[in-house]
Amino acid sequence: MTAPRANLPPLSLHVPEPRFRPGDEADFSDVVVPPAGSGRRPDTAAAADSFHELAYGLVRVLDDMGHAVGPWDPRLDADAKRKMLRSMALTRAFDERMFRAQRQGKTSFYMKSTGEEAVSVAATMALASDDMCFPSYRQQGILITRGYPLVTMMNQIYSNRGDPLQGRQLPIMYSAKDHGFFSISGNLATQYPQAVGWAMASAAKGDSRIAATWCGEGSTAEGDFHSALTFATVYKAPVILNIVNNQWAISSFSGFAGAEATTFAARAIGYGIAGLRVDGNDALAVYAATQWAAERARTNQGPTLIEHFTYRAEGHSTSDDPTAYRSAGEPNAWPLGDPIRRLKDHLIATGEWDDARQQAMDLDLAEQVKAAQKEAEKNGILGHGMHQPFETMFEGVFEHMPWHLKEQSEQMMAERKAAGI
């Protein structure tokens, strides 16, 4: 071992450390929240290097009084805003009931999106219905917004005989091609190169459909993320690359993915991609940013990377206890509030909603989810026997089953019959 140089200080390794741990008082007063409406909205044909400041600021539409202000206001009509509010509220109601189902032993696993509903719901409303979505595991709001049956979602969560994926996927890892929802993978960031590849194929065919993908801020440390951005910028793929910065990747805070150095939207600058940093708890800002990025993609201006600055209000999953690694006061101290409450307050401020209608809607949605659960549980719940025919284990691997799998299947069935199974 070489002796250290006496005239130089010893090297030191920086290990990121979250500011608040259990028992600490959470204080986000140093988080810079610019006034709503203060960020400029470039033309969708503007060069990606002409608005770098938007990767460091925060696109916001709703101000503290619930008013929609500034150039990013999408000027949606009241019906569209109420639909957005309803879809977010339905997503939260669905999460609450499925969380309880897991605690009751009816399924093995669940992940809530509490506090992040706008990231999926508002973005989906800004996309065309036939655009392809490549989600991570906390974007159930996409399916709910696109009208995917709640019963079918629950069947998948229960892995019962009504599960369209035949129990082959972890609960909440849906797949719905007919709703433009690509199969969720538990391997982080694999959806990023898949989305870019799909978008490249759409462009190569002369189609008009674009792709959108989501990942958490922790996943930006994965190699797949950076490979995807390279292909996206080289081929100007018509894709929207969403980073959901909810501050925590399981028990690792965002600093381990580089948050101490710069914003996640700034990743776009090094790749020559358009980058936006958006208030992820402002549904109108999420809608506006996605709409802008979609127009950019559809007019061959290339990809856009959007960082949704938000907060994971609850545990990473039902297998996680956030009180073991973060301050219990963080969710309430988060300065950007709750996306559902903010949109509700906006509608009330504009005279298009009131608390009585909100309460009636919440009750109606809770009953709707409850009825769907009862219907799904007629197909069984996790652990109540085998719900799929045994021979289906050989299906779904190839479009057409090859001879050797047919042979194995026939041999297995013959052995089971001989054994009286």
Task: Give residue 117's pLDDT.
Answer: 98
| Domain locations along the chain | 48-377
Burial pattern 367-380, b for ≥16 Cβ within 10 A else e, equals: eebeebbeebbebb
Q: Tokens 């189902």 map to which residue?
A: 101
Q: Return the percentage of the chain with pLDDT > 70, whole number.
A: 99
CATH of segment(s) 48-377: 3.40.50.970
Least confident residue range of 235-244, 376-385, 402-411: 376-385
Neighbours of 208 (CB within 10 A): 12
Read off the pLDDT band of 163 (50, 70, 90): very high
Read off the pLDDT band of 25 (50, 70, 90): very high
Q: Do 113 and 141 form a contact (C-beta atoms < 8 A)?
A: yes
Q: Dump pLDDT digits (tens) for 65-100.
A: 999 999 999 999 999 999 999 999 999 999 999 999
Q: Dump pLDDT digits (tens) for 321-331.
A: 999 999 999 99
Q: Dump pLDDT digits (tens) for 347-403.
A: 999 999 999 999 999 999 999 999 999 999 999 998 886 677 888 888 888 889 999
Q: Dump pLDDT digits (tens) for 256-314.
A: 999 999 999 999 999 999 999 999 999 999 999 999 999 999 999 999 999 999 999 99
- For residue 277 the two structure tokens come to 């940093």
Task: Give residue 386's pLDDT.
Answer: 64
Task: Give residue 131's pLDDT.
Answer: 98
Task: Give residue 393's pLDDT.
Answer: 84
State mean pLDDT over 176-204: 97
In this predicted structure, the answer to whether residue 4 has a pLDDT above a threshold of 80 is: no
CA 78 from centroid of its chain's CA atoms: 25
- For residue 94 the two structure tokens come to 């669905």
In this predicted structure, the answer to whether residue 171 has a pLDDT above a threshold of 70 is: yes
CA 188 from centroid of its chain's CA atoms: 12
State mean pLDDT over 123-149: 98
In this predicted structure, the answer to whether residue 147 has a pLDDT above a threshold of 90 is: yes
Q: What average pLDDT does the structure give for the chain?
A: 96
Listed residue (161, 164, 168, 117) closest to 139, CA to CA: 117
Task: Give residue 7's pLDDT.
Answer: 87
